[in-house]
A and B are shown apart, each in its own frame.
Chain A
């Protein structure tokens, strides 16, 4: 009788281990960089929320626009009030898929992540190359891609048109840990 209980318990335990399907990050890093002849603008967001479903390779990312920190107060104010209008659109989201997730390993860690990016109330389908490193206790994604500011209805006034690039570089590095509810 005892043996059955031990067997059941260990099966349950093993099942719990394998049902660690979701990986979560609450302090992911995303930054963007704009280079122009007049000045360079950079902002960092260290509070990115991201969930990966290990079974399907699906990924969902959310971040608060207000969490983008600039060095200069005026830049941060303009960014929030005029460009991305964070009072109207407080969050940016990405819903997508890590392509060929099952085939990823030590030697083969670069893959495509594609999906819908939603910023400033506008959605755009994007496809980017990312490095995805999968361990038992961590899934780490990183990479960078270019975004056209105009794609998201972000209007830059003529007076600062030379200060802000039309295409900006977005860099990300997000470490996910197993998450069970």
Chain B
């Protein structure tokens, strides 16, 4: 009868051919699953990642002002953890920026904070020391860090 399992079907299930077929489909399924996951992978979780580089805001600024191209090679696309003194905190449109000033000049490190830090940032005071962890994207008038979080020392 159509639709009913008969002995012919049962014998096929035991054959090597079938087992190989299952194996291939399984591999294909795992591969597909892996590719979809990779494709949809969100940006690196800054909170969970450890910093590639640990320095002071002043050191970062000095490196950039000395040689921008070299500094880009060293810092761009890396998770940087910097310590420094808050010179300004700006909150606008739900986005907060903490500015760490350059002792020697007009420049600064601008840390664009993740929205999840907003509540903690309200508690921060100017001139206090903080540690920030984020991604360096380069230098315009200031060194720019994005996707930053506060680090409790």
Contacts and interface: CB of A to CB of B under 8 A. Distances in A.
Contact of A49 (B39, B44, B141): B141
Contacts of A64: 137-140, 144
Contacts of B38: 74
Q: Determine which residue in B40, B95, B144, B147 has the highest number of CB atoms from chain A within 10 A of its CB, and name it.
A: B144
Interface in A51-80: 62-64, 66-67, 69-74, 76, 80
Contact of A72 (B42, B139, B146): B42
A71 B42 contact: yes
Contacts of B82: none
Contacts of A66: 76-77, 137-138
B3 to A, nearest CB: 39
B100 interface: no
Contacts, number: 63
10 contacts: A46-B112, A47-B137, A47-B146, A49-B141, A66-B76, A66-B77, A67-B137, A70-B43, A73-B44, A90-B138
A27 B42 contact: no
Interface in A92-131: none
Contacts of B140: 26, 47, 49, 62-64, 91
A70 B147 CA distance: 12
Contacts of A91: 138, 140
Contacts of B17: none
Contact of A47 (B43, B77, B112): B112
B8 interface: no
B118 interface: no
Interface of A: 26-27, 46-47, 49, 62-64, 66-67, 69-74, 76, 80, 87, 90-91, 181
Contacts of B72: 90
A69 B43 contact: yes
Nearest to B69: A90
Interface in B33-53: 38-44
B79 interface: no
B142 A74 contact: no
Contacts of A74: 38-39, 41
Interface string B76-116: 11000000000000101001010000000010001010000
A91 B39 CA distance: 26
A52 to B, nearest CB: 15
A80 B40 CA distance: 17
B138 A72 contact: no
Contacts of A67: 137-138, 144, 146
